[in-house]
């Protein structure tokens, strides 16, 4: 199958498996050339060759560990200097589930580096050329744990909370431009991150687990429909609208210069 490439190049992080590999397949089918970024060189090379042959697009494998500063810098430079890039998919993520007191220091550092610092730096790197052309798409993969915390997800939820607020802030900054920024908030998805996090998929309620292919297809449908925030598994969109309205109401309610009456504190004159 040969695709006619008219879409430019999409750079996808965490592309060797899971959601990243599915994004690579779907975007290649849409006519994007690809730069696939991941740590696992052999798997990445196999995927790149397969997609190039299947869709007739140019696919380049870029082996990089985003937790390593030198590797991250190489990807930053690619995004800043390659004018063909029209889409960035910030999909790479690290998850180590467990109580904070029991979490290894290196696991916390890796989550902070990949989920937060790398995502922000890669976005910052690509934005200048997107703004110059007034065109481009950034897709940031968060999680429903961006707005919810479990006893074992404290650190992971904190990093994904950053992704949510960072992305929504960007959306406001870029409103009215030709740049699209989408926040994707999946729930439990059948990817390798569960095994790597220490919680096997077999321990979850199987009815709550979405196939990676279905998750990406729903997310891209949301992108096509102009959604700024896409929750692939949420049937009733009103739930998100109510959540967001409550957030705004809470912020408005905080904008007063006196202590709340329930504290019994007399305001200073």
Q: Using the CB atoms, write b or e for 162-185: b if 16+ within 10 Å.
A: bbbebbbebbeebeeeebbbbbbb
Bridge partners of residue 230, in order along the sequence: 184
DSSP-based three-state secondary structure for 161: helix
Quick one: which of 120, 119, 99, 117 has its CA closest to 109? Answer: 117
Instruction: For the beta carbon of residue 249, count every other beta carbon within 10 angstroms.
Output: 10
Q: Is 124 labeled as catalytic in the residue annotation?
A: no
Q: What is the length of the chain?
A: 269
> Which is the catalytic residue, given 23, 55, 156, 162?
156
**Spatial distance between the Cα atoms of 200 and 54, rounded to a whole number of angstroms:** 32
86, 74 in Cβ contact below 8 A? no
φ/ψ (deg, to 5) at 137: -130, 135
And the tokens for 143?
Answer: 């999680």
Q: Is the dihedral of CA 116, 211, 86, 10 positive or negative?
A: positive
**How buried is residue 239: exposed, middle or buried, by Cβ count under 10 Å (0-12/13-18/19+)?**
exposed
For the chain, report the end-to-end CA distance as a whole number of angstroms: 75
Residues noted as catalytic: 156
């Amino acid at each position: 199958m040969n695709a006619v490439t008219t879409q430019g190049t999409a750079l996808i992080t965490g592309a060797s498996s899971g959601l990243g590999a599915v994004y690579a397949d779907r975007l290649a089918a849409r006519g994007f050339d690809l730069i696939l970024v991941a740590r696992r060189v052999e798997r990445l090379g196999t995927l790149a060759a397969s997609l190039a042959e299947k869709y007739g697009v140019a696919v380049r494998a870029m082996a990089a560990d985003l937790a390593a500063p030198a590797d991250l810098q190489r990807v930053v430079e690619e995004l800043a200097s390659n004018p063909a890039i029209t889409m960035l998919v910030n999909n790479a993520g690290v998850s180590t589930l467990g109580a904070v007191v029991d979490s290894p220091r290196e696991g916390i550092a890796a989550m902070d580096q990949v989920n937060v610092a790398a995502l922000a730096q890669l976005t910052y790197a690509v934005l200048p050329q997107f703004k110059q052309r007034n065109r481009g798409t950034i897709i940031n993969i968060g999680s429903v744990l961006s707005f919810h915390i479990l006893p074992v997800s404290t650190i992971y939820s904190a990093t994904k909370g950053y992704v949510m607020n960072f992305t929504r802030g960007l959306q406001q900054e870029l409103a009215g431009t030709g740049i699209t920024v989408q926040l994707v908030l999946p729930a439990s998805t059948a990817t390798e991150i569960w095994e790597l996090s220490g919680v096997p998929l077999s321990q979850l309620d199987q009815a709550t687990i979405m196939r990676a292919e279905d998750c990406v297809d729903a997310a891209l449908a949301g992108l096509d429909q102009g959604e700024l925030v896409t929750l692939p598994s949420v049937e009733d969109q009103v739930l998100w609208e109510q959540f967001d309205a409550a957030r705004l109401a809470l912020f408005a309610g905080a904008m007063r210069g006196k202590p709340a009456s329930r504290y019994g504190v007399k305001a200073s004159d």
